[in-house]
Amino acid sequence: AQSVTQPDIHITVSEGASLELRCNYSYGATPYLFWYVQSPGQGLQLLLKYFSGDTLVQGIKGFEAEFKRSQSSFNLRKPSVHWSDAAEYFCAVGRIAGGTSYGKLTFGQGTILTVHP
Amino acid sequence: SAVISQKPSRDICQRGTSLTIQCQVDSQVTMMFWYRQQPGQSLTLIATANQGSEATYESGFVIDKFPISRPNLTFSTLTVSNMSPEDSSIYLCSGANPGLPGLSTDTQYFGPGTRLTVL
């Protein structure tokens, strides 16, 4: 069964500082990996995704993530955090084409990001 | 990308009643899903809404409690039946078009969610 672990429940950074949110996954095949962001009272917005190819993927709002197969990780990074980045971030893994679980996403527990001025 | 809307955005309901949540997509999508996000928790998949056939439910979720309809490729409903306070959650729908040329493969787009409080 697929699973996702986000080890950090809550992270606090100062505005302008760099950010790294950790995500580890367990999956029996090549995973599809996603990062979503959820602002208070909002739905989920896709930040970026990895399907194949270049292991460093760029997303919206200046975010990037690196897929490391050897470490089963897909950490999210941003070089300089803005106050508007304060939100909850979810890592998710999904299945590639085929099989009964096709298209389903398994989410991590989420990491709440607080940004200090 | 698909734009997904949900109605209602929030509701407060009495124990024992039922609520139907609507999910509308601005374009045809092959797959639609319903998720539950309990307070302070992550998202848990309830079921896959299949057009023209019965929904496929995940372990721990049953049709009698969460009946789902999907009459076409742009619309689905989720009913939360015989509600109890434990059903207080945010319910989100999502849509995806996996594997179709020219579209974002396997990317799920989410609605804004329906915040349900059961008293």
Test the B interface: residue of A9, A10, A104 with most B CBs within 10 Å: A104
What confidence score (pLDDT) does residue A10 get? 96
Residues of B in contact with A34 (CB under 8 A): 107-108
Closest CA to A32 of B70, B55, B98, B31: B98
User: What is the per-residue pLDDT for B50?
Assistant: 82
Confidence of residue B106 (pLDDT cuts 50, 70, 90): low
- pLDDT for residue B15 is more than 60: yes
pLDDT, tens digit, for every residue of B28-45? Answer: 888 899 999 998 888 999
Domains of chain B: 4-99+108-118 (2.60.40.10)
Q: What is the interface size between A and B, counted as CB pairs within 8 Å? A: 59
Q: Are A94 and A105 in contact (CB under 8 A)?
A: yes
Q: Taking the domain A3-116, which CATH number applies?
A: 2.60.40.10
Higher pLDDT, B104 or B7: B7
Enumerate the domain spans of chain A.
3-116
| Under-70 pLDDT residues of chain A | 95-103
Q: Between chains, do B42 and A32 touch, taking CB under 8 Å as contact?
A: no
* Better pLDDT: B40 or B77: B77
Distance CA A71, CA B102 (A): 32
Chain B CB contacts of A42 below 8 Å: 112-113
